[in-house]
């Protein structure tokens, strides 16, 4: 085994005891990373074809070694498969969250409830899969919101070359040329890297054209992507975003307003980091307006299965966040990809939806500071055609 990689045994983990002075926050983060890296090393992730060796994270506080072993061994022998491991950031007593693709309720209940005093919450969420063509199966009546004769953000959108739709997330200004662009996911605007440059982007998407609804019209032209990379995270750097932009081709076609006239709001120009327990909302093509609670940051590689017309593979992500529905309704479903997630009062943008589990209870978001840091720098646009 390569020196410096995670070596999990009672002898080798004694170095973890050096971290006895860590804060609750850093302790939760380190435990989450240790769990994730151990699960990777053991091939416990649902998409792992074998062990994944990555550089060992930092030390954990004294007194956690045996509890850590107990937890990881029970996951290994309990027939449970891991989707992601995250931790709460910004809470007084942060928990570590373990997201599982499958496992019996009995085995999950038998897992230890804490590691060294840090609470462990285990959730069975199922495997996370992104299929750009799945929106029509979620609902064949995608939302198209209008204001002052313009198409609103949060509406159905997609390229002319693809039989798929997602959500038009926001209007942004690009620092490199000061032009206006539309922001969404790579798998929405770019068909997972494969839509040609300058391809027309429609709203509503072509799948959502129907009687009684405005016809799909060009709102932009595909311009740039944040590349999706598939491969073992030992060899291929995990992605931190699923993003694409399209240059706005008609300033009068789209407004920065999000959603409908009753519950809608203007796109906030302020960007903020997500914080655990923050109440958020979004408008999306499939579920419309929905509310959720920011739960955990996922700092280590997690697999997402992508299936598109020209792209099929497992893309590993890191430094993304989970949002859990705060109601009995889904927070996000296929077609909501690209939705802009904002604070409860609509004053700050905190992320962009890119994946969800099959029930829609959980969504995974790209944090907004990461999103606006791409493409040479972006600024969310407010007050446009409102």
Q: What pLDDT does residue 27 have?
A: 87
Residue pointed to by tokens 């407004």: 255
Question: What tokens does 250 get?
Answer: 């008609």
Q: Which CATH architecture has domain 130-376?
A: Beta Barrel (2.40)
Q: What pLDDT does residue 67 have?
A: 72
Q: What pLDDT does residue 37 have?
A: 86
Q: What is the pLDDT of residues 162-188, one digit of tens each?
A: 888 999 999 999 999 999 999 999 999
pLDDT band for position 62 (cuts 50, 70, 90)? low
Mean pLDDT taken over the chain: 88
- The CATH 2.40.10.10 domain(s) of the chain lie at 130-376
Q: Is the pTM of this model over 0.85?
A: yes
- Cα distance between residue 280 and residue 293, in whole Å: 6
Give the residue among 155, 242, 260, 148 at the shortest CA–CA distance from 205: 155
Statement: residue 58 has pLDDT above 90: no
Q: What pLDDT does residue 8 have?
A: 33
Q: What is the pLDDT of residues 111-147, one digit of tens each?
A: 889 998 899 999 999 989 999 888 877 676 899 999 9
H or E stretch covering 102: strand 96-102
| Average pLDDT value for residue range 264-280 | 98
| Average pLDDT value for residue range 271-294 | 98
Question: What tokens does 220 get?
Answer: 């932009």
154-to-29, 49, 89, 286, 324 alpha-carbon distances in Å: 33, 37, 28, 9, 19
Q: What pLDDT does residue 13 have?
A: 34
Q: What is the pLDDT of residues 327-379, one digit of tens each?
A: 999 999 999 999 999 999 999 999 999 999 999 999 999 999 999 999 999 99
DSSP 304-368: EEEE-SS-EEEEEE-SEEEEEESSSS-S--TT-TTPEEEETTSSEEEEEEEEE-TTSSEEEEEEH
């Amino acid at each position: 085994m390569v020196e410096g990689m995670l070596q999990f045994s009672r002898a080798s983990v004694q170095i973890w005891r050096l971290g006895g002075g860590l804060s609750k926050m850093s302790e939760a983060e380190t435990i989450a990373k240790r769990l994730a890296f151990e699960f990777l090393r053991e091939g416990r992730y649902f998409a792992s074809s074998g062990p994944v060796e990555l550089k060992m994270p930092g030390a954990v506080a004294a007194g956690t070694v045996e509890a850590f072993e107990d937890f990881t061994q029970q996951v290994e022998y309990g027939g449970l498969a891991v989707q992601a491991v995250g931790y709460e950031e910004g809470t007084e007593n942060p928990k570590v969250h373990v997201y599982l693709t499958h496992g019996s309720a009995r085995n999950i209940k038998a897992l230890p409830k804490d590691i060294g005093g840090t609470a462990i919450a285990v959730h069975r969420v199922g495997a996370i899969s992104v299929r750009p063509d799945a929106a029509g199966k979620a609902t064949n009546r995608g939302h198209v919101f209008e204001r002052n004769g313009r198409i609103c953000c949060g509406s159905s959108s997609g390229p002319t070359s693809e039989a798929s739709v997602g959500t038009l997330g926001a209007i942004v200004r690009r620092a490199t040329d000061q032009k206006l662009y539309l922001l969404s996911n790579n798998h929405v605007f770019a068909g997972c890297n494969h839509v040609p440059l300058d391809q027309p982007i429609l709203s509503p998407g072509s799948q959502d054209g129907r009687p009684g609804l405005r016809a799909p019209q060009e709102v932009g032209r595909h311009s740039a992507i944040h590349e999706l990379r598939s491969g073992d995270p030992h060899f291929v750097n995990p992605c931190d975003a699923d993003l694409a932009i399209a240059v706005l081709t008609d300033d009068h076609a789209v407004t920065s307003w999000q959603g409908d006239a009753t519950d809608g709001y203007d796109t906030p120009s302020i960007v903020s980091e997500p914080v655990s327990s923050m109440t958020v909302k979004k408008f999306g093509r499939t579920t419309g307006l929905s509310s959720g609670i920011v739960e955990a940051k996922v700092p280590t590689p997690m697999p997402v299965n992508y299936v598109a017309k020209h792209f099929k593979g497992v893309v590993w992500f890191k430094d993304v966040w989970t949002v859990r529905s705060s109601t009995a309704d889904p927070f996000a479903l296929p077609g909501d990809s690209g939705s802009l997630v904002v604070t409860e009062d609509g004053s700050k943008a905190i992320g962009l939806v890119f994946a969800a589990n099959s029930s829609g209870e959980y969504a995974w978001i790209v944090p907004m500071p990461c999103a606006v840091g791409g493409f040479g720098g972006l600024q969310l646009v407010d007050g446009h055609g409102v």
